[in-house]
Amino acid sequence: MAPENERFVRWQKIAIDQLSYALNLVFTLTIATLGYCFVLLKDREFTPGSSARCAMLLSLSALAFSAICGLACVLNRLRDFRATAKRARNAPDAPAQDELRGVGGITWGLFYAQVFSFALGIAAIAITLLLTYGGKLR
């Protein structure tokens, strides 16, 4: 194997690993934040006003969407790995290279959607908490 190819394979593995770490981290934080939101909703002393309720609903929606995108991204990556393995062993039912590129593009699209909706959910829960408990900062 040529040195340039070895470097490419090594960096490609690092990129795949980093994507996995980031995907898992955001997915874990999303589920934890959703849990926190539901604990807040169970608290009798948590009485948000109408604006804070809207922000809370936005947060729950964005975090739920983030979790769905994260799960879809994981499943899509598994499909990608399986298809790549078929292609590597020259299986007769292996997908075309263009199809594999499309699956990889879907992975990145889902990952970006997951991160964006997670950030939106975090911002909305922060707004909810500031609107509800911001008066205590005086």
pLDDT tens for each residue of 2-28:
777 788 778 888 888 999 999 999 999
- Distance (Å, rounded) from C-alpha 34 to C-alpha 13? 32
Domain membership flag for residue 93: yes
Q: Answer yes or no: pTM beyond 0.85.
A: yes
pLDDT tens figures, 60-111: 999 999 999 999 999 999 998 888 888 888 888 888 888 888 988 999 999 9
Domain count across the chain:
1
Domain membership flag for residue 19: yes
- The pLDDT assigned to 121 comes to 98
Domain that holds residue 125: 3-133
Domain membership flag for residue 68: yes
Q: Give the ranges where the chain is alpha helix by DSSP (H).
A: 3-42, 50-88, 97-133
Domain membership flag for residue 8: yes
Domain membership flag for residue 41: yes
**Which residue has 């090594």 as its token pair?**
10
Domain membership flag for residue 138: no
- Distance (Å, rounded) from C-alpha 46 to C-alpha 96? 54
- Distance (Å, rounded) from C-alpha 56 to C-alpha 72? 24
Spell 69-78 as b/e; 16+ CB within 10 A means b. Answer: bbebbbebbe
- Alpha-carbon 29 to chain mean position: 9
Ramachandran region, residue 91 (left: φ > 0; alpha: ψ -120 to 50; beta: rest): beta
Q: What angle do CA 124, 127, 129 make, to 5 degrees?
A: 110
Ramachandran region, residue 90 (left: φ > 0; alpha: ψ -120 to 50; beta: rest): left
Domain membership flag for residue 39: yes
